[in-house]
Structure 1
Amino acid sequence: MATSYREIDSHIAVKVERLQVGARLPFDVFIKDGGVMKPLFNKGMIFSRIAQSIIHEKGVSEVYVLAECAGALAGYGSQSSRSQESVLENPVAFKNYSHAKDKYFQIERSVLVPGTLVPFSIYSIEQLSFRPVAEASESSPVRIDSHIVNAPGDLCIMTADVPRYNEYLRTLSDGKNLPPEEATRVKALVTKENAKVIMKELLEDPRSGQAIKETGRVVNSMIDSILESRDTIYDLISLKQYDYYTYTHSVNVGVLSVGLGVAVNLPRPQIELLGMGAMLHDVGKSAIPGDILNKQGKLDDMEYMIIKTHVTEGEKILRSNPDVPPQAMPAALQHHEKLSGRGYPAGLKGTEINLFGRIVAIADCYDALTTKRPYKAPMTPFYALSIIAKETGDYDQELLKVFIKMLGKIK
């Protein structure tokens, strides 16, 4: 007998029992919260028992799927839908992609202003491939248009073209020929992109004193932007990426941490120290083999032990640099500690964990959960925050309440 569904406006109501544990979702799933449809699970996510338990804990009996996905819903769970192997699950293709990724630098499409000229080629990352979107050079620049801005996947440039990209960012930073509200948004985006460039340089040369000094400069620019307009934080966070980049993650964690520091009314000098430590929290990953950092799927026990050393490796790097203030260190050294004492590297618990460590722990976990990987769908903000809130003994619940309120406009 055919399964029937109730259509509500542009959505179809589906009983939660219809969601199959262990099956990949071929559509986005929504929840009705206060009369508003909010994304709950992203297309491509494997529906897990944890996801199932969160739905039950919230007392949800129905979820919603876009009406246009009725066909995918009808075939959901069939043998044919489970048996199709994606190129994203091909280990050889993924390994080749991971090695090639270092030759490119991911850029924010929102900073590409239509009508402006760029002297660098632009590529799209999709299905583990780097595809040319627009070819350009200093002698033959290309004008940004909708074809470039709307290209699928992440946009990137060759790492060798980063200096030209920096020059393009400088031309945007003065805000000339842009409406005031657009100039403010573009200025914030330029700050973020500058921060990503600096973090990439730092991860490649972690003992660079100049890069550390530049980190302090961009943190101050971030703080200025957020203090000028609290909504700027939504422009500063990189959303809907195709893949995880340590340098982009570092900047996102810096932005989220600074935003939370502002939200809890920390003094400006404290926010500067927090932002510095948050931006540098993963610098120790420069000492971790790329094959482990970029592994497709779950790490084995030995690989997990190695990845955990990034905190102590980061401590060695940061303590050797006189430009890193000692007061900023807890943000980097304690971001994997948990209030329950189950974290690492020191197994600190409760009040033993510095405020900076507690803030960065939330920001780091949230960004990791909501970042897409080629082999794994990201969690929606709603679902990610539900996961973090579920770990009541691990994260500071008062900070988490402020964090959730701060991210209230993100969908």
Structure 2
Amino acid sequence: MARKTPYGYTGLLNLLFGREMTVKKLKTKDLKIGMYVEKAGDLSNDPPFESRNFFISSPNDIQKLIDNKIGEVFVDTSRKADVYAPSESEENVETFEVELGELAVGRDVPVDIFWMREQNDNRILLRQGHTFSEEVEEVCRGSGINIVNIRVSQRKLFDKYKHVIDSERSEQQEKGYSGKYLDNKKVEEYHAFKNNYLPINVYVIVSDTKPPFDIYAIEKEKPATVLEKDAFVGKDRFDELVERNIEFFIHKDHKEAFRGYLLEHTQKSRDTAARAAFVREGAKLLIEDLAENPRSEKLINDSKKTIADLTQVVLDDPNSFRGLMKINSYDYYTFTHSVNVATLSIALAISVGVTKDDGLHDLGLGALLHDLGKTKINDKLINKPGKLTDAEYKTVTHHVTLGYEMLKENKSIPERAFHPLLEHHEKLSGRGYPNKLVADDIHLLGRITAIIDIYDALTTQRSYKKAFTPFDALSLLSKNEEDYDRNIFTQFVQLIHKQET
């Protein structure tokens, strides 16, 4: 069915302003594209599929209702996708063709938009002055409408509109954006999401409990509630969440409730995956706390204990710990990346024979702290949904020295733990930063972290690009063999091979 669209979207506010909600019963066969279904079927019975609050975006939506023997629906006549269910015909209108993608989502159109159903049969889709909203675009795409028509008499209006849109998109491209992020609104929505939601591992949820926080998933690029605060989670509900195999999030307003739940329930679970998830989620919260209070010796000592726990997780199941870690897949988050790097660095160090006496725990601590300096750089650069410009890249490289400055006065951090932090961007070839160290000038712990840092970055999904597969990431790194320690890299390839088979 079409996407459920919650109240509050800009386009719908424009539509609903000043109107009363009117729900009418309608025969399913009389539905039209663009209508908003409040509920399908008898109010006392729920059909065996999502059947409330959706737009009819294609003939398939209507047919699905009919196939499921839904004879009547309740339509909210005050809510429409601003699309005329293409039935209003205007004969003898001279038009020219435009690709749907030339229209800017979220902007008012200064012209009438038509759909040519057949030769010389123009059907009005969107009136001049209405908003080309996400809902309108969805209805068009769902109906297979990729080309629309505009009156020849309105060409000058459209050319002026297109010039403004093209100029904005060109400016965005110069800033490193592409795809949907040529739209400033999409960039702002992305930053708002990143600033307000935190990814969580589903295995922190314990059966037969009531998590005191809402849980969200991404649906149609927007957060949607999948589990309400204080809702009971039985075994079947838990299994259902796990089987969805997607990323889940909490709102930052619920972070402390989430922390309390970890300590009260997840920490006490006997399930191996839950214990591993507890260690990882706790580590992410610790790093965030350290960003606010880097001189706290207590937090560093707590981090040391977390590293010992992470090490034990790896030692307990060296061939499959990566699966238990549930590597982040939706998008890059600094704190998630930090825990990934710490976990994989520990695993690789064990593979190459590093022991506790050699600095195994110091490596883990340094890897956990390696990107702390990014918290001192503008979020909009760190989380930019696009390629950094040269000037932006130079600014971001300062995170290494910023992290060191934040932590150098903390007496609880062993000296060896600074090698991963200071050297994770150094390369044996001398082409790294910040100090352009060469070969033997780079410590063993720094060499390990350097490989893991770039590998995790490559294999993590970004909003503007797909994640590399492990094979593709390793293949890419192998083409720069002069940058990385060959023996350590070979061990890492073998380690990842074991994890993937």
* Alignment partners' CA distance in 1, 2:292 and 2:243: 31
Q: Which residue pairs with 2:394 in the alignment?
A: 305
Q: Is the 8 A contact 1:389 1:397 kept in 2?
A: no
Residue 360 of structure 2 corresponds to residue 271 of structure 1: yes
Greater Rg over alpha carbons, structure: 2
Conserved 8 A contact 1:97-1:128: no
Using the TM superposition, give the Cα deviation of residue 335 of structure 1 relative to its aligned residue in structure 2, in angstroms.
0.4
Structure 1 residues 355 and 162: CA distance shift in structure 2, 3 A: same
Cα distance between partner residues in 2 of 1:223 and 1:217: 10
User: 3-state DSSP class of the match of 2:223?
Assistant: strand
1:157 aligns with 2:157: no
Output one character per residue of 1:363-393: Cα deviation in whole Å (capped at 9) or x when no partner: 1000000000121100000000111111011
| Contact preservation (8 Å) 2:284, 2:336 | yes
Mapping 1:82-121, distance limit 5 Å: 87=180, 90-121=183-214
Q: Please, which runs of 5 or more residues in structure 2 have no aligned partner?
A: 1-145, 147-177
- How far is 1:204 from its partner? 4.0
Q: Does 1:191 align with 2:279?
A: yes
* Residues 334 and 371 in structure 2, CA contact (< 8 A), matched pair in contact too: yes
State how far apart, in whole Å, the 2-side matches of 1:151 and 1:184 are: 20
Residue identity over aligned pairs, in percent, reads 36
Q: Give the match for residue 109 of structure 2.
A: none
1:248 to 316, 333, 336: 336
Matched, 1:374 2:467: no
Partner of residue 209 from structure 1, selected from 290, 293, 297: 297
Distance 2:249 2:491 in 1: 34
Q: Does 1:326 align with 2:442?
A: no
CA deviation digits over 1:209-233, x for unaligned, max 9? 3322221110010112222221353
Distance in 1, matches of 2:196 and 2:294, equals: 18
- 2:495 corresponds to 1:397: no
Quick one: distance in 2 between partners of 1:299 and 1:365? 16
Query: 2:452 aligned with 1:363, yes or no?
Result: yes
Aligned alpha-carbon RMSD (Å):
2.2
Note closer, same or farther for the CA distance 1:167–1:388 as it changes in structure 2 (3 Å cut).
same
How far apart, CA to CA, are the structure 1 residues paired with 2:462 and 2:318?
29
**Structure 2 counterpart SS, 1:407:** helix
* Equivalent residue letter for 2:314: I
Question: Which of residues 199, 208, 228 is equivalent to 1:135?
Answer: 228
Q: Are 2:437 and 1:348 aligned?
A: yes
Please give the alpha-carbon distance, in whole angstroms, between the structure 2 residues aligned to 1:147 and 1:249. 27
Asked whether the 8 Å contact 1:97–1:129 carries over to 2, the reply is: no
Report the secondary structure of 1:123's partner residue: strand
Helix, strand or coil for the counterpart of 2:498?
coil
Structure 1: gaps of 5 or more residues: 1-79, 177-182
Amino acid at match of 2:228: E
Q: Distance in 1 between matches of 2:491 and 2:193?
A: 40
In 2, Cα distance between equivalents of 1:375 and 1:217: 36
Aligned equivalents of 2:221, 2:287: Cα separation in 1: 24
Q: 1:88, CA displacement in angstroms?
A: 6.1
Q: Give how far 1:312 is off.
A: 0.6
Residue type of the partner of 1:175?
S
- 1:266 is paired with a residue whose SS is coil
| C-alpha spacing 1:160/1:186, structure 2 compared with 1 (3 Å) | same
| TM-aligned CA deviation for residue 110 of structure 1 | 3.1
Cα shift at 1:262: 0.9
The one-letter amino acid of 1:157's match is I
Post-superposition shift, 1:235? Answer: 3.6
Alpha-carbon distance in 2 for matches of 1:229, 1:153: 23
Q: Is the 8 A contact 1:126 1:152 kept in 2?
A: no
Most deviating of 157-166 and 378-387? 157-166
Q: CA deviation at 1:148?
A: 3.6
8 A Cα contact 2:339 2:368, kept in partner: yes
Cα gap change, 1:88 to 1:237, in 2 (>3 Å): farther
Cα distance, 1:124 vs structure 2: 1.0
* 1:94, distance to aligned residue in structure 2 (A): 2.7
Return the letter of the residue paired with 1:338.
K
- Deviation track 1:277-327 (CA, whole Å, cap 9, x = no partner) reads 110000110111111111121111111110000001011112121111112
TM-score (norm 1): 0.73
Distance 1:126 1:385, change over 3 A: farther
Deviation per residue, 1:322-344 (Å, 9 max, x gap): 11111211111000000000000
SS in 2 for 1:130: strand
Q: For residues 145-165 of structure 1, give each alpha carbon's deviation from its aligned partner in whole angstroms, at most 9, with x where no partner exists.
A: 445444575211122322322
Residue 250 of structure 2 aligns to a residue whose secondary structure is: strand
Taking structure 2 as the reference length, what is the TM-score of the superposition? 0.60
* Structure with higher RCO (Cα < 8 A, 6+ apart): 1
Task: Give the conservation status (yes or no) of the 8 Å contact 2:346–2:360.
Answer: yes
CA contact (8 A) 2:209 2:232 kept: no
Structure 1 CA distance for aligned equivalents of residues 417 and 354 of structure 2: 14
